[in-house]
Structure 1
Amino acid sequence: MSKLYVGNLSWSTTEDVLRDAFGAYGQVTDAVHMKDRETGRYRGFGFVSFSTPDEAQAAIAALNEQELEGRRIRVSLANDRPGGGGGGGGGGYRGGYGGGRGRGGGGGGFGGSGGGGGGW
């Protein structure tokens, strides 16, 4: 199974419209237009899954940068989309300053020595 990212969708585009548009290029196993959890409104991007990679590639070749319901859509393999997918973020940072603060060694950023008096 191959999943495609579909971006720049009209907020009125439904999953049925996605199935119809992409179904011309193979067997669509899933189609979803992502919704905002709070408002329930479509977010302008979604995913379409095909049963084979060849079908997915055919859809990319045919539909990327083409117009769907008045918008020029962007179609790519889901794991290749620009921006790395958003969300997640940060990694292993757990806060704190790793020393230097409150240990009598300068490092706090304010006051301390050599600051020149502020210039007010």
Structure 2
Amino acid sequence: MSKNIYVGNLPWSSSEEDVRAAFEEFGEVISVKLINDRETGRPRGFGFVEMEDEGAIQAIENLDGSDFGGRNLKVNEARPREPRPRRW
């Protein structure tokens, strides 16, 4: 079983490889997805990491609030996306 982890307050310069390396200290990383703005293509400062359960719990406990590129990370279990109203 795997967990999806929300990672926020990332430096704009972060790469998926940087994030993967930080999380691999705690277990196998299945995937990393950093989110970019649709219109500008620039990073939005957050992303998602998918890991095996055991490693995910350790990563959340150890990385939440830790310094990453001069910023304090916000790391927690991702919640399902809430439906947004359609715009006409």
TM-score relative to the length of structure 1: 0.66
Aligned partners of 1:24, 1:90: CA distance in 2, in Å?
A: 39
Kindly state the Cα deviation for residue 89 of structure 1 after the two structures are TM-superposed: 2.9
Cross-structure match for 1:108: none
Aligned partners of 2:23, 2:37: CA distance in 1, in Å?
A: 23
Runs of 4+ in 1 over 4 A off after TM superposition: none
Gap runs ≥5 in structure 2: none
Q: Does 1:20 align with 2:21?
A: yes
RMSD over aligned CA atoms reads 1.6
Aligned partners of 1:75, 1:85: CA distance in 2, in Å?
A: 16
Is the strand fraction higher in 1 or 2?
Answer: 2
Percent identity among equivalent residues? 39
Aligned partners of 1:72, 1:32: CA distance in 2, in Å?
A: 19
Cross-structure match for 1:89: 84
Aligned partners of 1:85, 1:44: CA distance in 2, in Å?
A: 17
Q: Higher relative contact order at CA 8 Å, sep ≥6: structure 1 or structure 2? A: 2
Cα displacement string for residues 83-102 of structure 1 (whole angstroms, at most 9, x for unaligned residues): x856x3348xxxxxxxxxxx
Task: List aligned pairs for 1:52-63, cutoff 5 A.
Answer: 52-63=52-63
Gap runs ≥5 in structure 1: 92-120
Cross-structure match for 1:32: 33
How many correspondences in the alignment?
A: 85
